[in-house]
Amino acid sequence: MSFVSSALRRAAHAVLVALPLMGLAAVQAQADDLPGTDRPEARGLAIAKETDNRDKGWGDAEADMEMVLTNAHGDTSTRELRSYSLERTAPEEGDWSLIVFNKPRDVDGTALLTHAKILEPDDQWLYLPAVKRVKRISSVNKSGPFVGSEFAFEDFSSTEVGKYSYKWLRDEPCGELTCHVVERKPLYEHSGYTRQVVWTDTTDYQPRKIDYYDRKDALLKTLTLSDYRLYEDNFWRAHDLYMVNHNNKKATRLTWKNYKFHEGLTEADFSTTALKRAR
């Protein structure tokens, strides 16, 4: 009897404490409960899952992006596009995205629709506005450059936990924050990388820096993510992504703006029919 009541009291106490903090408390508890440093694989996976958990529920989003490509001589070229995305929750599915180019002007209206998968190749359609043609395209070109930039298609696709295996390396300061440094290896086919090293901050669990190692395991590129802003009290988005290629000395800067969430986008907005009317 006394055992039951004390258990009840403890449960009630837990609920009372947890309720006002809800999501945050649950999340924090999990973060504190990271597997020990003696289990680097489990710890690395838990960090990735934590990043993923904190981003759940964003639903759908729209944003504008500017991309500035710089070559070794400092010459620049600019692209502008609008991005729409839809969160998918089924375990074998990645998120859906639709991007529409606005600049350079000769590719204005060109659009790319992606229904991402976890390990299977994504379903991808390209819309060519001059001939009004929707073309299903091969998505095995993961390592190819995205519109001539230093971002590969795979750098640009949605980050899903199941795409990699993980290994925690160390914790270390990163700027004003502390970061978990985790190595991840792509499990999907056709990747241009043997591994990536990701610096994830220990406060908000957002990636701050990623090193990309090529197929010969040499450091190829470094991505720095900054200007994080919080949306709807829940979703962090980096607004400045700077990719440097150490081999060819070229760089690409992505700048995001006009983020909007929960605009009511549905599957119909990510169909090949919608692709034809994209703008």
Partner 1 sequence: MRKSWAGWAAIALACAAGPAQAGEFEFTGYVEPELQLFLQKASRPEQPRANMSLAGEVSAKYFWDDGDQSFVATPFMRLDMHDDKRTHVDLRAFKYAYIDGAWEFRAGVDKIFWGVTEAVHLVDIINQTDMVEDVREREKLGQPLVSLSTYQRWGTVDLYVLPWFRERLFPGANGRPATDIPIDTSQTKFESGRKRRHVDFAARYANTFDIWDVGFGYFRGTGRKPILIPGLSSGGSPVLIPYYAQIDQLSTDIQATKGAWLYKFEGLWRKELNDRYLQGTGGIEYTLYGLFDTPSDLGIVAEYIWDERGANPQNPFANDVFAGVRWTANDIADTSLLTGAVVDMDTQATFFSAEFEKRLGQNYRLSVEARLFAGQPASDPYYTLKDDDFLQIRLARYF
Return the number of the residue (55 or 80) whose C-beta is nearest partner 1: 80
Residues lying near partner 1 in the complex (CB under 8 A): 69, 71, 77-78, 103-108, 121, 123, 131-138, 140-141, 143-145, 147-148, 190, 192, 266, 268, 271-274, 277, 279
As a whole number of Å, the end-to-end CA separation of the chain is 68
DSSP string for 159-191: P-GGGEEEEEEEEEEETTEEEEEEEEEE-STT-
| Among candidate residues 5, 25, 29, the one with its CA nearest the CA of residue 16 | 25
Place of tokens 């390209």: 126
Return the number of the residue (103 or 239) whose C-beta is nearest partner 1: 103
Report, in Å, the least distance between residue 132 CB and partner 1: 5
- Cβ atoms of 120 and 129 within 8 Å: the answer is no
Return the number of the residue (43 or 253) whose C-beta is nearest partner 1: 253
Return the number of the residue (136 or 170) whose C-beta is nearest partner 1: 136
Report, in Å, the least distance between residue 234 CB and partner 1: 24
- The amino acid at residue 198 is V
CA distance 89 to 76: 39
Report, in Å, the least distance between residue 91 CB and partner 1: 17
Report, in Å, the least distance between residue 266 CB and partner 1: 7
DSSP string for 68-87: EEE-TT--EEEEEEEEEEE-
Give the helix/strand (H/E) hosting 21: helix 2-32
Q: Do the strands 207-214 and 76-86 form a parallel or antiparallel pair, or are they unpaired? A: unpaired
Return the number of the residue (156 or 166) whose C-beta is nearest partner 1: 156
Report, in Å, the least distance between residue 104 CB and partner 1: 5
| Among candidate residues 198, 197, 201, 196, the one with its CA nearest the CA of residue 175 | 201
In sequence order, the β-bridge partners of residue 69 are 77, 252
Report, in Å, the least distance between residue 21 CB and partner 1: 36
Report, in Å, the least distance between residue 255 CB and partner 1: 17
Return the number of the residue (49 or 103) whose C-beta is nearest partner 1: 103
Return the number of the residue (148 or 175) whose C-beta is nearest partner 1: 148
- Cβ atoms of 169 and 43 within 8 Å: the answer is no
